[in-house]
Structure 1
Amino acid sequence: MTWDYAPAPESRAIANLKPSYRMFLDGEFVEGSGEPLKTINPATEEVLAEVSTASASDVDRAVKAAKRAQDKVWGPMSGAERAKYIFRIARMMAERSRELAVLESLDNGKPIKESRDVDVPTAAAHFFYHAGWADKLDYAGYGPNPRPLGVAGQVIPWNFPLLMAAWKIAPALACGNTVVLKPAETTPLTALVLAEIIQQAELPPGVVNILPGAGDVGAELVNHPGVNKIAFTGSTEVGKIIQKSLAGTGKKVTLELGGKAANIVFDDAPLDQAVEGIVNGIFFNQGHVCCAGSRLLVQESIAEELLEKLHKRVSTLRIGDPLDKNTDVGAINSRDQLTKIQDLVATGEAEGAVRWTSACPLPDKGFFFAPTVFAGVSQAMRIAREEIFGPVLSVLTFRTPDEAIAKANNTPYGLSAGIWTEKGSRILWAANQLRAGVVWANTFNRFDPTAPFGGYQESGFGREGGRTGLEAYFDV
């Protein structure tokens, strides 16, 4: 029996969408001197709003404002007082959570149930968590009276716009630093509403500055001599450019870059549970996840059965309007990203992998791509090596646990991995063998502000979240 779902759209009016947005500099919303950009709804291709952007002179003003605020107000302020401001931001984010969720889905294309149930609550949780650290830093394990670095320049991606802003801003503030943040050019809106919240929370002027713009604005921020620390989340290619440009400058850097995670299913795994984890691992947020489980490694003896279950489950996923509460897979964030996904999928077919794509109907407008699974994938294929950053899964098989680990580690990345087995000893053995910053066991894509997150190799370095993540914002 099949069930039909009546449309259950969330009202876009809740987003309080404005026709134009301005950048946030030194406590005020001001016009940027860069060329304004138009941010669009990827599900409909309609223009949502015009957003002013920063220029080099605006970046300079913002860094100087942040430096002044750090020297005179935020740095000398007691941790207990800083905690009050951070906690106030968290409370106000929670109070405006529905508004933020709808705006995120409009601007980004992700399903409302993900924005509502994952992105916004976790973003608020990062501020709540770090507010608790602000007056306890002497006991964080970094010595008595650890010193802040100064001005943190932060550049975030388009896949989790509000959540990435929270990951960056909350620990920086808790440790006594000030912030200049550049959101992604395709998804600036929730960061600018967060700026409204920061202003309403009466954070001292200059403590947080948010400057929309394209890559040139990010480059100006990264290379500004007044910035003491850079935190970047984005592509490995840009991460390499940043690392090269900052070599020898003395600036502290954390890079959270791309990934090609292996999700390993052993022959004793609970298959129905594993299928749910596989689906969550690759189709959550349309596959726009740096730690997505985009390589499925299945023990050969169960591969046929698992693939049959997986195809059946993926066929039930609903693709469509991100504001519909029934939607499982929303819109690809941009036309450029959709083209990249299409090109890599075509390459997979050309190289001989067996493509299976869900027969789900796609909307007539917008940037959509149906969930796709490739079987018969070899290690040499591009779809097994390159980050597709879309709802595309590559399936490889293995015979022995040692072969599974060898294949999982045969990648230049090292951000995350998953293990599916009923044996605790095998979980511990495999986790110890895998070269990945985060290893999940019998689950996938679980995040918590108390747990550090980060990668190895071309997935970057440094950790964000937890007590460990505080170190990136101390002069230690």
Structure 2
Amino acid sequence: MSEVQERSEDPVYQNHIDGQPCAGAEGRQFKAVNPSTGRPWGSFVESGAADVDAAVHAARRALDGPWGRLSPTRRGRLMMAWGDKIAAHAETIARLESTQNGKLIGEMLAQARVVCDWLYYFGGLADKIEGRTIPLERRSVLNYTLREPLGVVGVIVPWNSPTFLTLMSCAPALAAGNTIVLKPSEVTSASAFELVRLAEAAGFPPGVINVVTGARAAGEALVDHPMVAKICFTGSDGAGRAIAARAGARLASCTLELGGKSPNIVFEDAPVDNAVAGILSGIFAAAGQTCIAGSRAYVHERIYDQVMERLVTRARAIRIGDPLAAGTQMGPAASAAQLHKNETMVARALEHGAALACGGERAKVPGFEGGYFYQPTILHRIPEGNPILQEEVFGPVLAITPFSSDDEAVALANGTRFGLAAGVWTSNFARAHTMARRLQAGTVWINTYRALAFNSPFGGYKDSGLGRVNGIESIDQFLQTKSVWCETSDEIQDPFVMKV
């Protein structure tokens, strides 16, 4: 049998617990749907509390057993080997994800190939986790600290970039010595099984990474489980709030990477061609289905008409179609629910006074009549207070507005409850760096957009989340500190006096 599971036309997946496929305790299943065709694709376990409990206990056994006994260096080497396995099977993983979420095969392939860098980086950090020796007043006492794993970590990932977002959470958690229970989105569950099989093929002990599929009930059972020390969640801010409240009730910590309403700010001295390309790629390249989608554009009034004309012309020319085809530039919405959300939010924006520059309805794609395709949409002349400027669509919908001064641009950009990312387009680098300080966003790009790296922290301000992924600081969120005191003197101490 190959390292990657062979699939039939309608594959059937079971949960993966303690290194073995496991049928659901209640025997229930659900079907995933190919958004390009609207037809079912693959069956998965509809997990409940019993399935999650089995996975958590398997993760705990691995933590107390073979995984916990590995040296940090060996643990890091296994992570690097896992990265090699994923890179070797990147095409299989990418095709699965593109089939299930409708994103372009090229983007899914690029993500599957690049995640090995995350595993190399955090694998290399595994044996760089160090405690400290604390200088105390009493010289006869040795006090030092240990950095230890939290325990079992629950990872809940969305459907838009499943492998990429899974590794962004799992890599630092594993480097710190934790074990994982992974609940993928019910929209894109298949690639999680390929990842865990490849991890075990690379030498990971069974139970280090477990996969349970399902919808809300499975996620709630994972968040509520008393043996889960931490939850890592990527998704909507509404779901993030609910997860934080449930986890907080039992004092479990969370890392939350939530929604965004990210602005691209184009000044009058900007490199216009680059800015237009950046705006287009920021909102349409992934059909708007990324947390960092540049769904708002603020363009200086002196160049507003010029930029607007170019955006509309190029948006209308975007090739919509089969995400597995090489010439396609934009695929479908990932689900019928997301397609309906696109339609509803555009209609609401128009009702509140916005004007439609292009798009605004379903796209007709020959041969894919049942698919969930939506046209690249640009809204303009948008009145203040319009919900399209405040609420995340997660679709190919751009809201564009002019501004006249730097202060106005800052006020407009910061005028939402979100703060995930922002783009600044200008030839004046003094202005650019000043804007970077003034913008309330966890990531600010200057004359570029949608750039991420394994060693650069990523996360949100305000309602866009808690904590950071990527970079050295992310590993600290998966560790706890233990203080150890050791009396080195033979002198008899008074048992009723505090040692200060």
Q: Which has the larger radius of gyration?
A: 2
The aligned runs of 1:250-261 (5 Å cut-off) are: 250-261=251-262
Question: Is the 8 Å Cα contact of residues 362 and 370 (structure 1) preserved in structure 2?
Answer: no
The unaligned stretches of length 5 or more in structure 2 are 133-143, 482-500
Indicate which of 70, 74, 80 corresponds to 1:77: 70
Indicate which of 107, 112, 121 corresponds to 1:120: 112
Indicate which of 79, 98, 103 corresponds to 1:105: 98
Indicate which of 46, 50, 60 corresponds to 1:57: 50
**AA partner of residue 47 (structure 1):** P
The superposition leaves residues 201-229 of structure 1 with CA deviations (integer Å, 9 ceiling, x where unpaired) of 23111111011110110000001000111
Cα distance in 2 for partners of 1:250, 1:340 equals 34
**AA partner of residue 372 (structure 1):** T
- Per mean C-alpha deviation after superposition, the further-off stretch among 42-51 and 458-467 is 42-51
The aligned runs of 1:133-144 (5 Å cut-off) are: 133-138=125-130
Shift of 1:139: 8.5
Shift of 1:378: 2.7
Q: Which secondary structure state, in structure 2, belongs to the residue aligned with residue 59 of structure 1?
A: helix
**AA partner of residue 96 (structure 1):** H
Identity of aligned residues (%): 39
Cα distance in 1 for partners of 2:6, 2:330 equals 21
Indicate which of 428, 443, 448 corresponds to 1:438: 443
The superposition leaves residues 435-470 of structure 1 with CA deviations (integer Å, 9 ceiling, x where unpaired) of 000111101101111111100111111000110111
> What is the CA RMSD across the aligned residues, in angstroms?
1.9
The superposition leaves residues 289-313 of structure 1 with CA deviations (integer Å, 9 ceiling, x where unpaired) of 1111101011111100100111122
Indicate which of 36, 39, 43 corresponds to 1:46: 39
Cα distance in 1 for partners of 2:478, 2:390 equals 33
Question: Is the 8 Å Cα contact of residues 15 and 100 (structure 1) preserved in structure 2?
Answer: no
| Distance verdict in 2 for CA 1:213–1:398, change over 3 Å | same
The superposition leaves residues 278-333 of structure 1 with CA deviations (integer Å, 9 ceiling, x where unpaired) of 01111121101111110101111110010011112222211000100111100100
Question: Is the 8 Å Cα contact of residues 47 and 217 (structure 2) preserved in structure 1?
Answer: no
Q: Which secondary structure state, in structure 2, belongs to the residue aligned with residue 436 of structure 1?
A: coil
* Match of residue 458 from structure 1: 463
Cα distance in 2 for partners of 1:470, 1:282 equals 30
* Match of residue 130 from structure 1: 122
**AA partner of residue 27 (structure 1):** G
Cα distance in 2 for partners of 1:334, 1:327 equals 19
Shift of 1:84: 1.7
* Match of residue 18 from structure 2: 26
- Whether 1:424 and 2:425 are equivalent positions in the alignment is no
The aligned runs of 1:10-409 (5 Å cut-off) are: 19-34=11-26, 35-117=28-110, 119-138=111-130, 145-358=146-359, 361-363=364-366, 364-409=369-414
**AA partner of residue 112 (structure 1):** I
Shift of 1:15: 7.8
The unaligned stretches of length 5 or more in structure 1 are 1-12
Cα distance in 2 for partners of 1:108, 1:99 equals 14
Cα distance in 2 for partners of 1:370, 1:16 equals 33
Q: Which secondary structure state, in structure 2, belongs to the residue aligned with residue 379 of structure 1?
A: coil
Q: Which secondary structure state, in structure 2, belongs to the residue aligned with residue 452 of structure 1?
A: coil
More helix by share: 1
Shift of 1:471: 1.4
Question: Is the 8 Å Cα contact of residues 108 and 161 (structure 2) preserved in structure 1?
Answer: no
**AA partner of residue 24 (structure 2):** G
Cα distance in 2 for partners of 1:469, 1:326 equals 37
Shift of 1:100: 1.0
Cα distance in 2 for partners of 1:112, 1:455 equals 28
More strand by share: 2
Q: Which secondary structure state, in structure 1, belongs to the residue aligned with residue 341 of structure 2?
A: helix
* Match of residue 3 from structure 1: none
- Give the total of aligned pairs: 462
- Per mean C-alpha deviation after superposition, the further-off stretch among 75-84 and 461-470 is 75-84
Q: Which secondary structure state, in structure 1, belongs to the residue aligned with residue 299 of structure 2?
A: strand
Question: Is the 8 Å Cα contact of residues 378 and 384 (structure 1) preserved in structure 2?
Answer: no
The superposition leaves residues 11-44 of structure 1 with CA deviations (integer Å, 9 ceiling, x where unpaired) of xx99876621111101111112242111111001
Question: Is the 8 Å Cα contact of residues 267 and 421 (structure 1) preserved in structure 2?
Answer: yes
Question: Is the 8 Å Cα contact of residues 131 and 147 (structure 2) preserved in structure 1?
Answer: no
Shift of 1:365: 2.3
Question: Is the 8 Å Cα contact of residues 379 and 385 (structure 1) preserved in structure 2?
Answer: no
Cα distance in 2 for partners of 1:186, 1:361 equals 23
Cα distance in 1 for partners of 2:99, 2:338 equals 17
Shift of 1:357: 2.3
* Match of residue 414 from structure 1: 419
Q: TM-score, normalised by structure 2?
A: 0.89
Shift of 1:103: 1.1
**AA partner of residue 48 (structure 2):** S
Shift of 1:144: 6.2
**AA partner of residue 199 (structure 1):** E
Q: TM-score, normalised by structure 1?
A: 0.93
